[in-house]
Amino acid sequence: MKHQAAVITCSDRAFRGEYADRSGPIIQAALRDAGFAVGDVVLVPDDVEAIQRAIGSFVQAGVRLVVTTGGTGVAPRDVTVEATKAILDFEIPGIAEEIRRVGLAATPYASLSRGLAGVVVRDENRALVVNAPGSTGGAKDTVRVLEPIVEHLIGQLDGITNH
């Protein structure tokens, strides 16, 4: 059975239709290519409550992987990290560190991403939540890091410990 994944683009301008979302569709297509069932990219404004509602609703619905894109930098409206941190049950810092490390091979700006990765638990549902940068390169880096580990990680969330 395919695992479900969701992509949330966090951007005031994309939400208002002033800017074309470019990173969300990249992540969506890559996750589909990796075998995940992925619906439409959800656009939300740079708003803590809106981001938390979107993540929480996907986890509650049984989605196993939620990737946000955008809002990981240092601009005044970049609040994705704060929204995510407040609802994570625990962090997995190595994933975010690796996304930044991979990105640094292409641009020094990768070091500016404050993105997190961790697990959100809602009732019986456990999902990996990852903050990807809003750039197309950051989106590609995120999928590149997740692809070889995410199935194993979801298995661990389900209590499967054999390798």
Q: List, in order, residues 6 or more apart from 97 with CB less than 8 Å away.
A: none
pLDDT block averages, 10 residues each, the chain of length 163:
92 95 98 96 98 98 98 96 98 98 97 98 96 97 97 94 67
Could you tell me the pTM of the whole model? 0.97
Q: Identify the CATH class of 4-157.
A: alpha beta
Q: Quote the pLDDT of residue 1.
A: 54
In residues, how long is the chain? 163
- Decide if 79 contacts 47 (C-beta within 8 A): yes
- Decide if 27 contacts 7 (C-beta within 8 A): yes
Q: Quote the pLDDT of residue 2.
A: 86
- Decide if 113 contacts 100 (C-beta within 8 A): yes
Q: Quote the pLDDT of residue 36.
A: 96
